[in-house]
Structures are given as structure tokens and as C-alpha cells.
Amino acid sequence: MNIKVLDTTLRDGEQTPGVSLNPSEKLRIALKLDEIGVDFIEAGSAITSEGERDCIKTITNENLNAEILSFSRPLNKDIDYCIECGVDAVNLVVPTSDLHIFQKLNTTKEELIEMSNSAVEYCKDHGLVVELSAEDASRTDVDFLRTVFNNAIDCGADRVCVCDTVGIFTPDASFNMFNSLRDLKVPVSCHCHNDFGLAVANTLAAIKGGSSEFHSTVNGIGERAGNTSFEETVVSINSLLPDFDTSIDIHELYSISKLVARLTGVYIQPNKAIVGENAFAHESGIHSDGIIKNASTYEPITPELVGRKRKFVIGKHMGTHGLNSRLKELGLNVNSNQLQQICDNIKFLADNGKTVTDVDLQAIADNVLNINYEDRIKLEEVTIVSGNKVLPTASIKLTIDGNDVLEAGVGIGPVDAAINAVKKSISEFADIELVEYHVDAITGGTDAFIDVIVKLQKGDQIISARGTEPDIINASVKAYIAGVNRLIS
């Protein structure tokens, strides 16, 4: 059975404290959601503001394959704004619990049903698809919930949704609720929140109970503890529920996750399932050995399934199998004695509280193997011009194979300009890509020493390099040049 997906990253997800997306950012996310196969996209809440309506119109003007919705209360003025935005459908949200009816709306159940019916009819009269969402349905009497839904269906509602607004469902309760509603004449969807960390589990239980659609947000962002995680639910359906599937391009999950994290500024915890940086990282020697022999020993899914790559982390728990695999990735071949020496040195550093980076590993391996790289490129001078109304510009002097090279570059900042100047200087003989850039202040104060670590790639070879200076520009340039020297040596 194919399960439909309604993504509400642009509405419920944007309600995450501190998140505010502009029209171009919302459009980028919507285009990616449409590209990967999301069925319904809730583009926002048209009643919110003129700026929000502009965002929604930007999306509806793209004529995407996905159905585009706006959130709406059961009020004609809300629906009129949805119509103005040109959406295909409305997510018509009607509170159904006694708490919301009596204390929030200060009305009666009869008046609530009348309000709901009137809103559905108004939407249908204006050619809109209607998904009626029962707010706080998990704290609503099931018989009354059925009454609300059946009235809405009789008035033309195309879908209905059970909302666990405060995340109090358990998987058993979720299954029972949806199982009791599976005889309704329209599709039933579920909208779960993660207040108790059960949103994904409750969503999967709802699907097994009869729900044919789920609401979610990318990375599980949203108010309080967030919403059902889009990527976790899609992968769980794919891997754990053999009788169900979705139309989502599962290989693009990491890509959409990184896009949303970057545009919203909401940090993804390293140990987050599926998309966290540690989701397919292994340090333990036992695990690394098993993974190398057969990945399924310690991975329930392959990282490639969701657009990821496996990595072996350097640390005191690492065994020789994982270490040897990492050394080979760095282009280093060692014998068993050398491998053990490198492993012992890593454990010594880790036991003394040091995080062992690729730079440290390279240095340790070089020492054990007695490798000395001859620097073909040397930094002689770097000069920066930057200011509020000045495009950051860098001029750089290098010695390459004994010859002086002068070059200039511009960038969005002084570091970017300096790196661009170096790239231009070496472009004739080295096609090298900067794939990662990381900065740490390793002392306090405004004169702190800056530790810059870069990761560079040339073809299939990737290495890390470090530069440590009081000046971030010099540290960045030195780290970059050190990495280039290693790659071309």
C-alpha cells in the first residue's frame, strides 16, 4: 500500500523558535520536496501576514506536481486568503477536544460542528480540496471525533486528519485510534508531535492501524520538541513495514535534510537517526571489523540508501581493521607492525583526552613510515583589503617549485578571497576542491590562536591539513597550502 506524505516543514516546521524563511528559501525547499516525490506540501498559513502570502504565491506559481496547501482556521477570512494565494487545497484545522472547545474557543460542540461544516462547504464552493484536521484529536472522545469527521465528509471533505497536538499518543493508543476510524469513507491521515519522543513510532502505528497519509517535517523540526521526522518515517516504512511504501526518492533524504538545516539554521544533532553525522560512523574495533567483513553486522541499512557514506572514526576504541581502512583512504599502505604502532600512538593520544583528527593520523603515520613531504608550494606573502563597502580582495605571493607566483582573488569575505587567490595560483597544475573547513579558537581573548582544519580532495584522494596562527586568514591559507602540498607530493 502506498502511503501519502504531507510535508509541513514550511508551516509547522517554520514555527520552530528562531526560524523565519524568506520567499526564495521557502521556494528552494518546496522545489526539492517536489523533486523527491512529496505528495502534499503545506506552504504556510495564508492568514499570517502579507509576507507569508507572498511566500505561498511564489510556490503556487511554480505549478509543482505536489498538491500545495495552506493552513486555515474554519473562518471565511482565512479561507479567502488561501484562495488569493492560489493554493490547491486547505489544511482546515478544527479543535475537537473538550479542552479546546470549551476553554480556548469558549463555544459548544454543536457550534463547533456547525462552524466546521460551514467552512468545509465554503472551501468546496470555491474549488478547494479540503483536508479537515482535528486539532487535539488524541484527547478527543472517539465518538465525537467520528461525528465531526462524518459531518465534514458529508459536506465534501476530501481527507481527514487525526492530530496528536501535544504528543501524548503511545503506539498502542495510536493504532487503536486509527483502527477505529478505518471505515471512514475518505483517507485518514496522522499528524504527530514529538513531546515524548514518540512521534515516529506513533506515526508508524497509525499507518498499521489504517492511516494512508502522514504529516511530517524535515529533520523533525517544529514547535517545542518538534514534529514527526520526515526522513526517519520514510526510511522506517521502507525498511520495517513490508506491506507499505511511499513515492519518496529515498536516496535524496540526506540532501534535503542538509538543505533544510542550512536554510533554517537548526542544528542536526550528531546522533540523529538517518541524517546525523554519526549515523553511519564507526569507532569501535569490534564494529569496524564486522562492518568491513559484512556491513549488515552493525548497520540496519546501507548509508548509500539515503545518500550517505560510511566512515570510520579515529579514536581509542578503533581497532586495526578500521584503522587500516582509514589509512588506505588517505593513500597510505602499511605493514602489520607499522599498523600496530600507529594504532598504539592513536590510543595514547586519545587516552590523554585528545581528539584525533585526520591531520593527527597523517602526522602519526608519517612519523612511523618516516615520510617527509617536500613542500612544492610555499607562502611568501598575503595582503587583504576589506571593509563595509569594499569587496574583500586578497593578493598573494607564492613560491611554486622555486618560481615566484603573484595572484589576486576576491570573495565573500577575506578568508574566501585569500583561498580563491591560492586556487588561481595553482590552477594550472592542481585541480583541488575544498570540501570542508573548520575553525577553533584554542586560546582565549581577542589575540587567541586560531586552529583551522581543512579537508581537500583531488580526484578520489581526500586529506586533511591544519594551520595554527593568531590570524585566521594566515591560518586558513597555511592549512590550505599544507593540504595541497600533501596532495601533489
Nearest CA to 89 out of 203, 19, 223, 187 is that of: 187
Q: What is the pLDDT of residues 81-107, one digit of tens each?
A: 999 999 999 999 999 999 999 999 999
Cell numbers for 25: 528559501
Fold classification of 377-488 is: Double Stranded RNA Binding Domain (3.30.160)
Q: How far is CA 93 from CA 86, 119, 131, 132, 146, in A?
A: 19, 10, 8, 6, 15
pLDDT confidence tier of residue 447, bands split at 50, 70 and 90: low
Q: What are phi and psi of 283, to 5 degrees?
A: -115, -40
What pLDDT sits at residue 88? Answer: 97
Question: Residues 383-428: pLDDT tens digits?
Answer: 999 888 789 999 999 998 888 999 999 999 999 999 999 999 888 7
From the list 79, 71, 140, the residue with the least C-alpha distance to 112 is: 140
Of 125, 121, 8, the closest CA to residue 71 belongs to 8
Phi, psi of 451, rounded to the nearest 5 degrees:
-110, 110
CATH class of the domain defined by 4-264: alpha beta
Q: Residue 66: helix, strand or coil by DSSP?
A: coil
Mean pLDDT of 156-168: 97
**Does residue 126 register a pLDDT over 50?**
yes
Tens digit of each residue's pLDDT (9 = 90 or more) over 171-188 = 999 999 999 999 999 999
More confident residue, 129 or 375: 129
Contact criterion met (CB below 8 Å) for 164 and 191:
yes
- pLDDT value at 302 more than 90: no
In tens, the pLDDT along 287-297 reads 545 655 666 67
Query: In the structure grid, which three cell numbers stand for residue 38, read together?
Result: 512529496
Higher pLDDT, 263 or 293: 263
**Do residues 229 and 22 lie in contact, with contact meaning Cβ atoms separated by under 8 Å?**
no
Measured CA to CA, the distance from residue 201 to residue 356 in angstroms comes to 37
pLDDT bracket for residue 443 (50, 70, 90): low
Q: Is 130 a residue whose pLDDT tops 90?
A: yes
**Residue with the three cell numbers 581537500:** 456
pTM over 0.75: no
Residue type present at position 392: P
Q: What is the pLDDT of residue 346?
A: 78
pLDDT confidence tier of residue 258, bands split at 50, 70 and 90: very high
Checking if the pLDDT of 140 tops 50, the result is: yes
Report the mean per-residue pLDDT for the chain. 88
CATH architecture label of 281-369: Orthogonal Bundle (1.10)
Residue 220 DSSP label: G
Are 71 and 11 in contact by the 8 Å Cβ rule? The answer is yes
Please count the other Cβ atoms lying within 10 Å of the Cβ belonging to residue 31.
Answer: 16
Cβ of 361: how many Cβ atoms within 10 Å? 22
Q: Where are the domains of the chain?
A: 4-264, 281-369, 377-488
The string of pLDDT tens digits covering residues 464-488 is: 888 877 788 988 998 899 889 888 8
The pLDDT value given to residue 488? 82
Note whether 93 and 71 are within 8 A (CB): yes
Reported confidence tier of residue 436, pLDDT bands at 50, 70, 90:
confident
Report pLDDT for 285.
Answer: 47
**Other residues' Cβ atoms within 10 Å of the Cβ of residue 464:** 22
Tell me the pLDDT band of 61, cut-offs 50, 70 and 90. Answer: very high
Strands (E) located in 352-449: 377-387, 390-400, 403-410, 433-441
